[in-house]
Amino acid sequence: MKHVLVLGAGQLARMMSLAGAPLNIKISAFDVRSENIVHPLTLEVLGNGLEHAIAEADVITAEFEHIPLDVLAICEKSGKFLPSTDAIKAGGDRRIEKGLLDSAGVKNAKYAVINTRTDFDAAIAHVGLPMVLKSALGGYDGKGQWRLKTLDDVDAIWTEMAECIAESESQAIVAEEFVPFQREVSLVGARNKQGELAIYPLAENVHTDGVLTLSTAIDEPELQAQAAQMFTAVAESLDYVGVLALEFFDVNGQLLVNEIAPRVHNSGHWTQQGADTCQFENHLRAVCDMPLGSTQAIRATSMVNILGEDTLPEAVHSLSGCHVHWYGKDKRAGRKMGHINVTANDKAALKAQLVALSELLDEAAFPALKPAAEAL
């Protein structure tokens, strides 16, 4: 029996726990907000606090990148933390992330860092309009972002950005060129201590109001090779151990990295039903120093996020190839409450299943599903 302590007690720790049980890997989770050690499924408070849990654990890992630096420091000091503090910081701070991508020689959008109004003017000259402005720290699901299209909006956006920068001493803004992409794709893969890689097929992602709504595994060898090369460069430059995700913009078949996530990723949930070994199991295998499992796709699969809803029509459970995964969370508008993995024998059958699913669901709750399914 191995014991893994996960920093963060959300759905990703929950799904690691579900994937770890058959391998006799026991998970406990550190809830960053309450600072309690909890059971990842029941959220029942366990044990005697973080220091004790660190001492008890064989391995410590994380389910998200916005971890207080003092917590990261004590985990790192134990010598048990994987992937690494540097990897978590690169995922949590867009300045470090951009620096890492450049030094790994991985294509990404042109950018500039803004701390002052003078920097903002310099960024406009360097990056050009339109541009996307993102807070360096704390951004997720498209939050903490602005779009600057014309110079008329500079003053109004600066007022909001200056407020954001003033919130904390270490906050800043990263300005990026607006990338005219055709679509967004992401790559999830694992690397173990021996440097072996296990990379999943790419997923094509649909975002609605900045939040992932649909993710579909795709089989496009040329794009896959490009993405895998960038994944390898990033993973090797961090000497990464665990599952890592890269989000890309696809611009006419040329990939640019948008961002990295040093963890299991929402766009990899399809692997629970669609791949030989799911991303949660492969993350645990990597950090527990086990051989990695096959990442081969075993059927056509999509993942549909359930946002802000805590019930589904019963008929969903009768639809063949539909697998519902709830996260056990209290309902809140827009909150990620669960997901549905939809599988089929081939892409055409998958598309038909997704359209059938969209017809069972409340359109107001899943507005993007039907058009996205029809466009597959």
Annotated binding residues for ATP? 94, 134, 139-145, 176-179, 184, 207, 258-259
- Binding-site positions read 94, 134, 139-145, 176-179, 184, 207, 258-259
Provide, rounded to whole angstroms, the least separation between the CB of residue 95 and ligand ATP: 13
CA 291 to CA 215: how far, in whole Å? Answer: 27
Provide, rounded to whole angstroms, the least separation between the CB of residue 32 and Mg ion: 20
Residue 163: both structure tokens together: 């407020």
Closer residue to ligand ATP in complex, CB, 178/326 = 178
Question: Which residue is listed with tokens 């796709």?
Answer: 297
Site residues for ligand ATP per CB under 6 A? 109, 132, 134, 139-143, 176, 178-179, 184, 207, 210, 247, 258-259
Binding-residue total with Mg ion (CB under 5 A) = 1
228-267 footprint of Mg ion as x/- string (CB under 5 A):
-------------------x--------------------
Provide, rounded to whole angstroms, the least separation between the CB of residue 141 and ligand ATP: 4
What secondary structure, in 3-state letters, does 332-355 show?
Answer: CCCCEEEEEEEEECCHHHHHHHHH
Residue 63: name the closest of 79, 86, 40 by CA: 40
Residues 6+ apart with CB under 8 A from 51: 74
Q: Among ligand ATP, Mg ion, none, what binds residue 88 when CB lies within 5 to 8 Å by partner kind?
A: none
Closer residue to ligand ATP in complex, CB, 258/302 = 258
Closer residue to Mg ion in complex, CB, 313/334 = 334
Q: Among ligand ATP, Mg ion, none, what binds residue 65 when CB lies within 5 to 8 Å by partner kind?
A: none
Provide, rounded to whole angstroms, the least separation between the CB of residue 139 and Mg ion: 8
| Helices marked H in 43-153 | 50-56, 69-77, 85-92, 94-103, 117-127
Provide, rounded to whole angstroms, the least separation between the CB of residue 152 and ligand ATP: 20
Q: Among ligand ATP, Mg ion, none, what binds residue 142 when CB lies within 5 to 8 Å by partner kind?
A: ligand ATP
SS3 113: strand
- By the 8 A CB rule, do 307 and 315 touch? no
For the stretch 58-78, what's the b/e string if a residue is b when 16 or more beta carbons lie within 10 angstroms of its beta carbon? ebbbbbbbebeeebbeebeee
- By the 8 A CB rule, do 121 and 282 touch? no
- By the 8 A CB rule, do 292 and 198 touch? yes
Closer residue to Mg ion in complex, CB, 248/366 = 248
Provide, rounded to whole angstroms, the least separation between the CB of residue 207 and ligand ATP: 5
SS3 17: helix
Closer residue to Mg ion in complex, CB, 179/319 = 179
Closer residue to Mg ion in complex, CB, 29/230 = 230
Q: Among ligand ATP, Mg ion, none, what binds residue 37 when CB lies within 5 to 8 Å by partner kind?
A: none
Provide, rounded to whole angstroms, the least separation between the CB of residue 139 and ligand ATP: 4
CA 225 to CA 220: how far, in whole Å? Answer: 9
CA 96 to CA 236: how far, in whole Å? Answer: 16
Closer residue to ligand ATP in complex, CB, 98/134 = 134
Q: By the criterion CB under 5 A, which residues form the site for Mg ion?
A: 247
